[in-house]
Chains A and B, each alone.
Chain A
């Protein structure tokens, strides 16, 4: 179960406007799947970073980062903006948000509509299906 802090932070990294936020677009599930598979090694540093964010929130008088109002969240976030774990998390969030839907986020390629990218493929945004025997850890997937 992803922590409330994790979900809240993702939605400040990619906030909602007239287009979906990170979690509405499935970015949390995309990142958790990468961490669970071992393809990305930043889970530990992210967990420590989230704890740090909660501490900062508690110093500011909130029970946790998720409980703070968005404007406070953004102020707290500025304090960790230069850290490696936060930059890695922004990178992963963008990967999920802007990659093809087959990667688990970005349903209906909605971010591509937002930015005006046209895939132009006869099969749809993911192209032909992945080859199942190869699209797995150690073969073509890290």
Chain B
């Protein structure tokens, strides 16, 4: 392997894969480092309904492996747990080339223009660290468009609340299912605007790959027709095709390498090999970009202390790892007289963005939509009415009669960040490589829970207006929220005193150290965040390519 790189990108997920592509196509020599391995439907598409990224009852379907990769989780009552990758509290991201983009449902939202200015619109709730983004929707819009066309989104211009668009989508939207018309009629009754949500899935053959075959197990698994557009089958392929990008899989970053003056010179890597044959080496580069996710990117900065930054790189103001956030998903189920579900994936067919802002008495809101096809075991665990016994013929007959008659409305609440929700380095627990593991602690800000309750009511009203016989769904309890859509731990900003990086993800005080993933998000939007991570990935790596 060559040892002479312009840039090392740590993490081959949504933003990291894009960085490898943009840098390599700009003529730079790039090393893309990934803890996981190459995975596909053929080698990892086994449909284990109890071990996947939608239900991790007894394991998982990508790395990190169950043994050797613990984390410490402090729960809402303050109790500390050692957790494994499939356990509650781990807040896992898929460890594989493409990361979550290999397995996701691929909802492809642009954030709302006011999602970038929550502080300006709502003020700062007590105890929160709410800020505006340092950039506007208008600044990100061309990069959103690039992500939509280069990764591949199916959709239509039906969102009356979205920011300005200058171009449509490259593919037509997903087809409806039996519940769609009922939910549309219910929304119309309430004066709610609806449309088909945009998604990173081929609805027609594109980019040399087939269209979606509408299998009944989409989110959480690799795609049987390779119709899901992730970074592993788009930009990473382009990066490798340049001949200037090398990818090291099965390799973890031990720490960011620095010289005697504390300046970043590369990465200290551990190649896992097979068995216990670990190979450790330092690889140097002119720039380092961390795209390992909000927990692992923060962990790497914290684990790379120097004499001048004894608490971690970029952490002299104790900001790295703070403001960990994700998405609470208020969810309401509704039982219909007719069959409304047909197992045709992906399953998301209708959304509204009317409640993203402007909800009386609460901060922000959520996009609300129906959901992906539920695996039967997941339906049993999550979708049964609270008063239904979990045994006997009543339970069995509810499954028999109503699996196809239950629909749901849910949505990702734009959370109010709290500085006490954070990643730190645990001081005792180590992983199989001897690295101190992330310690996750904190409880979501109370304002977020108020918005959750408000969105729950909206979802319930929508279902009730759509002809349901009954609805149900519990309000979620206070907890740390980073299990879905982790973000916020290395927030970018204009002011060095209250941010970890500049508006292009460059760590303050370090000319050649960058973060590019959802760690940068000052707030995480009222939508699934992956298209924003991708747009930011294009923007920030384009900036880096010009600097190198």
Tell me whether B60 and A140 are in contact (CB under 8 A).
yes
Residue of B nearest to A118 (CB): B343
Interface residues on B, range: 35 or more
Tell me whether A39 and B224 are in contact (CB under 8 A).
no
Cβ of B48 under 8 Å from chain A: yes
B344 surroundings in chain A (CB, below 8 A):
118, 120
Select A125's contact among B47, B221, B392, beta carbons within 8 Å: B47
Cβ of A115 under 8 Å from chain B: yes
Q: How far is the CB of A40 from chain B (nearest CB, A)?
A: 7
Instruction: Digitize B54-82: 1 where CB-to-A-CB distance is under 8 Å, 0 elsewhere.
Output: 00011111110111100000000000000
B224 surroundings in chain A (CB, below 8 A):
121-123, 127
Cβ of A68 under 8 Å from chain B: no
- Assuming A99-B377, A128-B42, A142-B58, is B217 touching A119 (CB within 8 A)? yes
Task: State in angstroms the CA–CA spacing of A24 and B42 once bound together.
Answer: 32
Tell me whether B66 and A140 are in contact (CB under 8 A).
yes
B42 surroundings in chain A (CB, below 8 A):
128
Task: State in angstroms the CA–CA spacing of A115 and B396 once bound together.
Answer: 9
Q: How far is the CB of A75 from chain B (nearest CB, A)?
A: 12
B380 surroundings in chain A (CB, below 8 A):
94-95, 98
Task: State in angstroms the CA–CA spacing of A114 and B403 once bound together.
Answer: 10
Q: B339-374: which have CB < 8 Å to A?
A: 339, 342-345
Cβ of B376 under 8 Å from chain A: yes
Residue of B nearest to A109 (CB): B376
- Assuming A116-B343, A122-B224, is B51 touching A17 (CB within 8 A)? no
- Assuming A99-B49, A115-B400, is B214 touching A120 (CB within 8 A)? yes
Tell me whether A118 and B216 are in contact (CB under 8 A).
yes
Task: State in angstroms the CA–CA spacing of A141 and B399 once bound together.
Answer: 27
Tell me whether A129 and B390 are in contact (CB under 8 A).
no
Cβ of B185 under 8 Å from chain A: no
Cβ of B479 under 8 Å from chain A: no
- Assuming A98-B380, A119-B216, A119-B217, is B48 touching A17 (CB within 8 A)? no
Select B390's contact among A91, A100, A121, A139, beta carbons within 8 Å: A91
Cβ of A8 under 8 Å from chain B: no
Tell me whether A12 and B47 are in contact (CB under 8 A).
no
Task: State in angstroms the CA–CA spacing of A77 and B393 once bound together.
Answer: 13
B60 surroundings in chain A (CB, below 8 A):
140
B322 surroundings in chain A (CB, below 8 A):
none
- Assuming A120-B214, A120-B343, A120-B344, is B84 touching A142 (CB within 8 A)? yes
- Assuming A13-B392, A39-B58, is B66 touching A138 (CB within 8 A)? yes
- Assuming A17-B396, A121-B215, A140-B66, is B47 touching A127 (CB within 8 A)? yes
Tell me whether A15 and B396 are in contact (CB under 8 A).
yes
Residue among B47, B58, B65, B391 having the largest count of chain A Cβ atoms under 10 Å:
B391
Instruction: Digitize B392-421: 1 where CB-to-A-CB distance is under 8 Å, 0 elsewhere.
Output: 110111011001100000000000000000
Select B66's contact among A12, A98, A127, A142, beta carbons within 8 Å: A142
Tell me whether A95 and B57 are in contact (CB under 8 A).
yes
Task: State in angstroms the CA–CA spacing of A60 and B38 once bound together.
Answer: 60
B214 surroundings in chain A (CB, below 8 A):
120
Cβ of B281 under 8 Å from chain A: no
Task: State in angstroms the CA–CA spacing of A112 and B344 once bound together.
Answer: 14
A129 surroundings in chain B (CB, below 8 A):
46
Select B58's contact among A40, A86, A87, A119, beta carbons within 8 Å: A40
Select A94's contact among B215, B377, B403, beta carbons within 8 Å: B377
Tell me whether A139 and B213 are in contact (CB under 8 A).
no
Cβ of A49 under 8 Å from chain B: no
Cβ of B389 under 8 Å from chain A: yes
Cβ of B545 under 8 Å from chain A: no
Q: How far is the CB of B487 from chain A (nearest CB, A)?
A: 26
Select A130's contact among B46, B84, B392, B396, beta carbons within 8 Å: B46
Select A138's contact among B51, B65, B391, beta carbons within 8 Å: B65
Tell me whether B84 and A120 are in contact (CB under 8 A).
no
Tell me whether A130 and B66 are in contact (CB under 8 A).
no
Task: State in angstroms the CA–CA spacing of A15 and B344 once bound together.
Answer: 29
Task: State in angstroms the CA–CA spacing of A100 and B51 once bound together.
Answer: 11
Residue of A nearest to B374 (CB): A117
What are 27 A-to-B residue pairs whose CB atoms are below 8 Å? Answer: A12-B392, A17-B393, A17-B396, A34-B58, A81-B389, A91-B390, A94-B377, A95-B377, A99-B50, A100-B49, A102-B47, A102-B48, A103-B49, A114-B399, A114-B400, A117-B376, A118-B342, A118-B343, A121-B216, A128-B46, A135-B46, A135-B48, A138-B66, A140-B62, A141-B51, A141-B58, A141-B66
Chain B: residues with CB nearer than 8 A to chain A? 41-51, 57-63, 65-68, 84, 86, 213-217, 221, 224, 339, 342-345, 375-377, 379-381, 389-393, 395-397, 399-400, 403-404
**14 new A-B contacts at CB < 8 Å, known A19-B400, A118-B216:** A12-B392, A14-B396, A94-B390, A98-B379, A117-B375, A118-B343, A119-B216, A120-B343, A121-B216, A128-B46, A130-B46, A137-B67, A140-B61, A142-B58
Chain A: residues with CB nearer than 8 A to chain B? 12-15, 17, 19, 34, 39-40, 74, 77, 81, 86-87, 90-91, 93-95, 98-100, 102-103, 111-112, 114-123, 125-131, 134-135, 137-142
